[in-house]
Amino acid sequence: MAERALPRELIARLIRSLKRRGVDYADVRYERLLHESLVAEQGRVSSISVTESAGIGIRVLSRGSWGFASTPHLTPRHLARAGAQAIELATASSLLNRQPRPLTPVEPVKARYASRVAVDPFDVPLSKKLDYLLWANATLLGPDAVKRATAHMDFYKRRKLFCSTEGAQIEQVVIESGAGLEVVAQRGDEVHLRSFPNSHHGALAQAGFEYVKQLDLVGGAQTAKEEVLQLLRAKPPRAGETTIVLDPTQVVMQLHESCGHPTELDRALGQELSYAGGSFLTPEHLGQLRYGSPRVTIVADATIPHGVGSFGFDDEGVPAQRVELVRRGLFVGYLSSRESAARIRLPASGGAMRAESWSVPPLVRMTNVNLEPGEATLEELCRDIPRGYLLSTNKSWSIDDKRLNFQFTTELGWEITDGRLGAIVKNPLYTGITPAFWGRCTGVGRAEDWRLWGVSNCAKGEPMQLMHVGHGSSYARFDGVTVAPAR
Amino acid sequence: MVGERTLLSTLTALVKRARADAVSVCVHAKTRRVFRFAYEAIHQDLVQEDITVTAKLIRQRRVGVASADSLEPAHLRRTLQAAAAIAAHSPQQKELAALPQRTRIRASGDYVRSTTRLSAAACVASLQRLFQLCKGAGAKLAGSLVTGEDELAVVNSAGVSCYAASTVSGAKLVTMYRNLSGYASGVHRDVTRLDLDGLLKESLRRSLHRQEAVSPPLGNYEVILEPEAVGELVSWLGYTAFGAKSVEERTSCLAGRMGEALFAPEITIYDDGMEAASLRMPFDFEGTPKRRTVLIDRGRATGIVYDTTYGARFGRPSSGHGMPPDEVEGPLPMHLGMAPGRTSLEAMIRSCRRGLLIPRFHYVNGLLNPREALMTGLTREGTFLIERGKLSAPVATLRFTQSLLSAFRRVLGVSTQRRLIADPSQELGCAVMPALHLVAFKFTGRSESSS
């Protein structure tokens, strides 16, 4: 689909009109998203789709209350109506809201940001993408036990124009590419799934088609097929307390659920209570609570190259930042917005306001929440473990409404006996309490094994918004963890 | 609101213009007005207008799908061109189900004007009253209030031309008193019949308790699950077990077990998009009328849901459970119901010597071992210990890890009264569920304070 011109003049006129109506603050965000999705199943292409979505979201702060309205119709009449709706909402809410709603300051800039890509995926011929997809998919097929083989690719191009009554004018173009495989095998009542290179829809990065080529889907397909067949005759893990090593694919989910969500400041302030819940990391714990062992340093880094949580500016015009959330085990920072930062008297927003699309307001979201690397190799992490498990690739996830009690299963694990990796185990489950678990982190892998992943389905808010967020990690080791077979 | 005439004439013209062997166009237009509040302030209020147009075009057995978010003629033409371009590059499909033919579709008449006419000021006035009532009780309040409307239209080249409009409203209320929280939610297509005061009372009743929450020992408990908790478990079954794709892939707990008694005879589960108590949807995203499908009949596995593609593969007609053409999960049930029983929630509690009353679960996940319907999740606000037929103490958060194949085998009672369960801020779909009294449910973990 061809590019549409940015509606600069329409937006400029709308900003002038909102100023004239006396709002305390307003921002207008145009977005156009192009998403191409390719799926192959059982050796044939099963779905090719292209989705285009464009529209404008208007956020107004008036008399201490927010109002948000959106429209896909880019005409002066529709924009004026949406602007009036946003003001009407803010005015209505101000009847109830008694407290002022200060925002931390931000310098309004005129700026541009664009993803650095070698090959724009939308310039690659469809036939070339399909050839590669079908090749990877065919590699998964073979034995009768394989009941489903799926390969998929996804490409996104998001163009944004953000303008505010403070004078900001920011244009951003973000391109993302991703791909993955899934194979399901069954024998009798045993059914197992193996994904490559990760579950949760594979791998995704802020990159061009070159990223998909680097994933080596064909080589990964062969490994995934071999492992899923091994799972059919594998034993489950022994139940009990033991040492586990998580590979980077599973640390992704551990970071996401037990660090990313509880450090969202809006959540910690109670603004998600009716839906996703609260957080055990309430503001009185900031700088006080021991979150993990001294080996644990976790950052929210929106500046890291190729992260799907990276950008030039967030959706309220705050520059991308690297914010420490946990420093050597101590809880020291939040993911925050201009409003939530002001609420707890932080000097500035952490730049984490992000919206799924033009049709919804931004919320405090994860950017790239990463576990900083240590120095150990996988061999060194396993070396002094008499009996334990190496666990890989998230299969199920669940955590309580304060983000304390979590339980995960992974697609597979390997026994560790006297420091050496052994047989594959099926249906491994581990569970714990967030600060106690991270407090028993006794090793973090080296930078050479550190890898950044993209997650495309982080859900939050009402209406629910699905956000692309990043997580980077190496291997990590945890002692005294409750492990059981999922049955 | 776009309106039936505009939508159908626009789509019909588009379908007629398409140079293709077959074409189907589906539109979902929705508006949501959402107020979210916590601690005496509204922190988010929005009007969201969205329209999704998805075109599926077939040329020489090659399929292309494209979506857009506008009914502007130029954009619709571009969408169709994109679908045609994709089809031109797609491989030919050997097995290609025909598009649904024109059939008679009942209008659901679920569009209630009072829901769409409720002003922002009226919503805020309702919330003001709730905040005052809550303050009077010494409690704090958080939650959301949602109103909205949906229009769904499907037109295809085989003669399907159908349209449905509906409204929805709903509220979620969390009340907090000292260290305890209560919760209540309600949904109705008519906002004037949404009993906000009643919901607040229900939530306060659970949170205004003198006793601190207790942490009972882990293990098996007799449980009474209120409709929302039942709905969360059954909805996961809907996703992992009742769709034809999961049965074909053998991951469903029904695969290879059709006709077997999987659950107790008290349990009948069905999907019915036209049930009066539900948020009705007369046809699916392919334009096939919704057909009532019994999935579990008095404990026995009897059915799964199909769209045209999986219907053709299984040699069955579509049951009206097709999802939008760009979805890849296969057919799914969107209006699950559990048949009512013969008892009441109060009678269940009276008959329980020692057990747990659970109003809703948090973060249920049914992917642990779908073949065994093994699920995990947590309790949340309003969970109570029952001792000798009475609610004795609120219970701190507990985690369950439980196979529904075993939990739903031993049923002590199903309530006569059922409730409509839906998240009105989300997409279409709902569930109609009773309360369920089970002999045993396994609790495997608890949340502990961080300090």
Tell me the pLDDT tens digit for each residue of B200-220.
999 999 888 778 899 999 999
Mutate: best of A130, A273, A397, partner B, most B CBs <10 A: A273
Give A3's contacts (C-beta < 8 A, 6+ positions apart).
A159
Question: Do residues A155 and A49 touch, judged by C-beta distance below 8 A?
Answer: no
Q: How many CB atoms lie within 10 A of CB B439?
A: 16
Question: Do residues A181 and A134 touch, judged by C-beta distance below 8 A?
Answer: no
Q: Report d(CA A152, CA A212) in Å as an integer.
A: 11
ipTM score: 0.93
Q: Report d(CA B359, CA B339) in Å as an integer.
A: 19
Nearest CB to A399 within list B89, B363, B380: B363
Chain B (313-352) residues lying within 8 Å, Cβ to Cβ, of chain A: 325-326, 328
Q: How many CB atoms lie within 10 A of CB B12?
A: 15
Task: Encode pLDDT of B277-298 as tens digits.
Answer: 999 999 999 999 999 999 999 9
Residue that the structure tokens 């009798």 belong to:
A188
Question: Do residues A224 and A184 touch, judged by C-beta distance below 8 A?
Answer: no
Question: Do residues A360 and B50 touch, judged by C-beta distance below 8 A?
Answer: no
Question: Is the Cβ pair B447, A186 closer than 8 Å?
Answer: no
Q: Which residues of chain A have a CB within 8 Å of the CB of B47?
A: 68-70, 82, 85-86, 89
Question: Is the Cβ pair B91, A45 closer than 8 Å?
Answer: yes
Q: Which residues of chain A have a CB within 8 Å of the CB of B37?
A: 96
CB-based contact, B377 to chain A, within 8 Å: yes
Query: Side chain identity at B370, as an amino acid letter?
Result: P
Q: What is the pLDDT of residue A3?
A: 62
Question: Do residues A331 and A285 touch, judged by C-beta distance below 8 A?
Answer: yes
- CA dihedral of residues B390, B393, B399, B403 (deg, nearest 10): -10
φ, ψ for residue B117, nearest 5 deg: -90, -5
Tokens for A366, please give them: 């994860």
pLDDT band at B248 (very low <50, low <70, confident <90, very high): very high
Q: What is the pLDDT of residue A48?
A: 87
Q: What is the pLDDT of residue B448?
A: 73
- The DSSP secondary-structure symbol of A448 reads G
Question: Do residues A195 and A185 touch, judged by C-beta distance below 8 A?
Answer: no
Calculate how close chain A gets to B69, using CA atoms only, in Å.
5
Q: Report d(CA A29, CA A314) in Å as an integer.
A: 11
Residue B363: closest C-alpha in chain A: A398
Question: Is the Cβ pair B119, A85 closer than 8 Å?
Answer: no
Helix (H) or strand (E) holding A178: strand A169-187
- The DSSP secondary-structure symbol of A254 reads H
Tokens for B123, please give them: 């919503």
Mutate: best of B72, B232, B329, B363, partner A, most A CBs <10 A: B363
Overall size of chain B counted in residues:
451
What value does the mean pLDDT of chain B take?
Answer: 94
Strand runs labelled E in A200-311: 203-205, 240-246, 298-301
Q: Report d(CA A463, CA B66) in Å as an integer.
A: 24
Give the count of Cβ contacts less than 8 A between chain A and B: 260
Q: What are the helix (H) ranges across A26-156?
A: 76-94, 126-140
Question: Is the Cβ pair B70, A407 closer than 8 Å?
Answer: no
pLDDT band at B451 (very low <50, low <70, confident <90, very high): very low
Tokens for B48, please give them: 């969201």
Task: Encode pLDDT of B154-202 as tens digits.
Answer: 999 999 999 999 999 999 999 998 888 899 999 999 999 999 999 999 9
Q: For each of the domains in chain B, give its residue range(s) and CATH number, in order of start.
A: 4-207 (3.30.2290.10), 219-446 (no CATH)
Q: How many CB atoms lie within 10 A of CB A187?
A: 16
CB-based contact, A89 to chain B, within 8 Å: yes
Q: What is the pLDDT of residue B86?
A: 87
Nearest CB to A405 within list B70, B249, B445: B445
φ, ψ for residue A283, nearest 5 deg: -55, -30
- Inter-CA distances, B44 with B146, B147, B187, Å: 12, 14, 20
- The DSSP secondary-structure symbol of B231 reads H
Nearest CB to A277 within list B36, B91, B362: B362
In 3D space, the residue among B206, B282, B305, B274 whose CA is nearest the CA of residue B432 turns out to be B274
Q: How many CB atoms lie within 10 A of CB B359?
A: 24
Evaluate if residue B427 carries a pLDDT over 80.
Answer: no
Nearest CB to B120 within list A88, A189, A274: A88
Q: How many CB atoms lie within 10 A of CB B315?
A: 6
> Left, alpha or beta for A240 (phi > 0: left; psi -120 to 50: alpha)?
left
Mutate: best of B135, B168, B368, partner A, most A CBs <10 A: B368
Q: Report d(CA A312, CA A171) in Å as an integer.
A: 9
Question: Do residues A283 and A346 touch, judged by C-beta distance below 8 A?
Answer: no
Q: What is the mean pLDDT of residues B94-120?
A: 88
Question: Is the Cβ pair A89, B79 closer than 8 Å?
Answer: no
Residue A131 CA to its chain's centroid (Å): 29
Chain B (186-245) residues lying within 8 Å, Cβ to Cβ, of chain A: none
Q: Which residues of chain B have a CB within 8 Å of the CB of A397?
A: 365
Calculate how close chain A gets to B304, using CA atoms only, in Å.
19
Q: What is the pLDDT of residue B267?
A: 98
In 3D space, the residue among B232, B284, B290, B267 whose CA is nearest the CA of residue B431 turns out to be B232
CB-based contact, B451 to chain A, within 8 Å: yes
Helix (H) or strand (E) holding B128: helix B120-136
pLDDT band at B73 (very low <50, low <70, confident <90, very high): confident
Calculate how close chain A gets to B124, using CA atoms only, in Å.
6
Evaluate if residue B450 carries a pLDDT over 70.
Answer: no
Is residue B228 classed as helix, strand or coil in its secondary structure?
helix
CB-based contact, A382 to chain B, within 8 Å: no
Helix (H) or strand (E) holding A37: strand A25-41
Q: What is the pLDDT of residue A1?
A: 57
In 3D space, the residue among A213, A275, A254 whose CA is nearest the CA of residue A394 turns out to be A254
Give B315's contacts (C-beta < 8 A, 6+ positions apart).
none
Tens-binned pLDDT, residue by residue, of chain A (487 aa): 556 688 999 999 999 999 999 999 999 999 999 999 999 998 888 888 889 999 999 999 999 999 999 998 899 999 999 999 999 999 999 999 988 899 999 999 999 999 999 999 999 999 999 999 999 999 999 889 999 999 999 999 999 999 999 999 999 999 999 999 999 999 988 999 999 999 999 999 999 999 999 999 999 999 999 999 999 999 999 999 999 999 999 999 999 999 999 999 999 999 999 888 999 999 999 999 999 999 999 999 999 999 999 999 999 999 999 999 999 999 999 999 999 999 999 999 999 999 999 999 999 999 999 999 999 999 999 999 999 999 999 999 999 999 999 999 999 999 999 999 999 999 999 999 999 999 999 999 999 999 999 999 999 999 999 999 999 999 999 999 999 999 8
In 3D space, the residue among A7, A145, A21 whose CA is nearest the CA of residue A84 turns out to be A21
- The DSSP secondary-structure symbol of A335 reads B
Beta bridge partners, B369, equal B374
Q: How many CB atoms lie within 10 A of CB B74?
A: 8
Q: Report d(CA A335, CA A349) in Å as an integer.
A: 8
Calculate how close chain B gets to A190, using CA atoms only, in Å.
8
- CA dihedral of residues B213, B218, B221, B223 (deg, nearest 10): 50
Q: What is the pLDDT of residue A2?
A: 56
pLDDT > 90 fraction of chain B, expressed in percent and rounded = 84
CB-based contact, B65 to chain A, within 8 Å: yes
Maximum distance among all alpha carbons in chain B? Answer: 71
- Please return the burial class of A290, using the count of CB atoms within 10 Å of its CB with bins 0-12, 13-18 and 19+: middle
Chain A (284-313) residues lying within 8 Å, Cβ to Cβ, of chain B: 285, 289
The β-bridge relationship of strands B62-68 and B41-59 is antiparallel
CB-based contact, B74 to chain A, within 8 Å: no
Residue B377: closest C-alpha in chain A: A398
